[in-house]
Amino acid sequence: MNKLQENYSSSAITNDMEVLLTDVGKRFNREWIFRHVDLQFVAGRSYAITGPNGSGKSTLLQAIAGSMYLSEGSLAYQTCGSAIIETEKIYQHISIAAPYLELVEEMTAKEFLHFHHQFKSLSAILSIEDILSLIGLEKAADKQIRYFSSGMKQRIKLAQAIFSDTPVLLLDEPCTNLDKPGYELYHTLINNYCQDKLIIVSSNDTQEMDFCSEKLSILDYK
């Protein structure tokens, strides 16, 4: 563990967040994507939502993020089993990386992370220069994102999510467009900088979720 990792670990945010889904269901027109979902996601643990393409795992993750209206049931974020967080304020407590989320491609990598930091704080221990170095983009810090490869863009998406100062980390197919070194970087970031976070991964790629302590199949809720 290098000094940046040691400092980050010793100053990690206190995570007492829980996510509760009670009899949750989502329907598009007459088709139920999932139904009767009763799950509790506990602080400091990692979970994987698995299932084939098109099965609804990404839809469930978006529902957990509070970005998608539920057809039935309830979603609750709470701390220490008591304080309930209002749905419209969930975004303050989560960070997310997903293929469908867009970057501001006219910005440089450094500008984008500064912009992101204005509405969701990044790590107080690591500077933006440190973060770019950790993800291997220090030489491209002042390059516009539109000139990045798809793998470089994914590294930026992972950085803004993993290094956001939030207790909950949501990852939807987090290694999309990454090569073998990118997969290795992903696991390094999870191992070194996310130990105190509640992590939920949506994926059918075993390498993206092999660290998860619990695996849930979306097909169990059809």
Residues 142-160: pLDDT tens digits?
A: 999 999 999 999 999 999 9
pLDDT beyond 50 at 9: no
Helix (H, G, I), strand (E, B) or coil at 4: helix
Do the Cβ atoms of 180 and 153 come closer than 8 Å? Answer: no
- Quote the pTM value: 0.91
Distance of CA 131 to CAs 40, 74, 124, 134, Å?
Answer: 32, 36, 11, 5
**Cross-strand pairs, 37:** 24
Half-sphere exposure of 100 (CA within 13 A, CB side): 5
**Cross-strand pairs, 94:** 168
Structure tokens at 180: 């073998």
The DSSP bridge pattern shows strands 83-85 and 72-79 to be: antiparallel
pLDDT digits (tens, 9 = 90+) for 18-64: 999 999 999 999 999 999 999 999 999 999 999 999 999 999 999 99
Pairwise CA distance, residues 202 & 58, whole Å:
6
pLDDT digits (tens, 9 = 90+) for 181-211: 999 999 999 999 998 999 999 999 999 999 9
DSSP 204: S
% of the chain exceeding 90 in pLDDT = 81
Q: Which CATH number fits domain 3-221: 3.40.50.300, 1.10.3720.10, 3.40.50.150, 2.60.120.260?
A: 3.40.50.300
Do the Cβ atoms of 178 and 207 come closer than 8 Å? Answer: no
Q: Which residue has the tokens 């170095």?
A: 133
